[in-house]
Amino acid sequence: MIKHILLSLMLCLPFSLFAQKSKKKVNYTFSRLEQVAVDGNVEEWENHLNALEDLWSFGVAERNNVLFVAIVIKDIQLQREALSGGIFVNISYNDKRKDGARLYFPYWDRERKKALSASEELRQTENFEQALLEKVNGYYLQGFGRVRDGLLALDNDYGIRATTLVDSNKNLVYEARIPLELVGLKSDVVAVQVGVRTQYAMMKKAMESSNRPTNRGYGYGYPVMGGPSLKNPYKAETEIWIVDKVEKSN
């Protein structure tokens, strides 16, 4: 039953929205690690992961002009959203908290999602979530200065690598490495955003985009007097900004 629900979520993820308690903002910085391996084993991140309630935890580090990211998702619903919309890393070109070079993973294109949703063999797989993760198309990139937008193969010559797996504690574990020379940084201080592409976040972004001023008012040219207010269904933020100085920028 759970497998059927998760496959359905890949195409259309229903959710409920309820009020979120106000949380004090935290200024996160890079973790200082001696060694990092992108292998799904986050032991080297011990004491370096920032926990958000009992939902998920994250860490971002930079060594030798390479960005490393680790994410551990405990919450089942948030895991399902990660398997539906993916996990993202957004590297701004400077210290401004804006869209920059974005890596999306795991990533399935629409055709593969449909095929997986119709796969009876996949539903009967014992380690269902891991089997699903092994059928990704690759990485999806946007905004990189030295890599064109679109699908990038898992095995590539750019040094971009990410892995996602379900560990022995049933946590969804994500790790990634991104060479910063590919981004096109314009500052030694950089803002990095990490998180899960939840349905709430995507709808919020779509609403903000439609409400931006145009020559005739807002959205499609008509003034907006009011509208539905989206509220995060999770008790903590699912997208976080980290701002810090990198060792070297190109």
Residue 85 lies in a domain: yes
Residue 224 lies in a domain: no
User: Does the bond joining 106 to the residue before it have cis omega, within 30 degrees of 0?
Assistant: yes
How many other β-carbons are positioned within 10 Å of the β-carbon of residue 226? Answer: 5
What residues make up the domain containing 83? 2-198+233-245
Residue 206 lies in a domain: no
**Which one, of 44, 52, 19, lies nearest residue 242 by Cα?**
52
Sign, Cα dihedral of 166, 168, 169, 175: negative
As for how many domains the chain has, the answer is 1
Contact (CB, 8 A) for 179 and 159? yes
Residue 34 lies in a domain: yes
HSE, CB side, 13 Å, CA atoms: give it for residue 33.
24
Enumerate the H helices of the chain as residue ranges: 2-9, 76-85, 110-117, 120-123, 128-133, 199-210
Lookup: tokens for 125: 């797989």
Residue-level pLDDT at 37: 94
Residue 32 lies in a domain: yes
Sign, Cα dihedral of 11, 16, 17, 19: negative
* Angstrom distance (rounded) from CA 194 to CA 238: 8
Residues of the chain with pLDDT under 50: 2, 5, 11-22, 216-225, 249-250
Identify the three-state secondary structure at position 32. Answer: coil
Residue-level pLDDT at 128: 75
Residue 220 lies in a domain: no
The pairs formed by 43-46 with CB atoms below 8 angstroms and a separation of 24 or more are 45/70
Residue 130 lies in a domain: yes
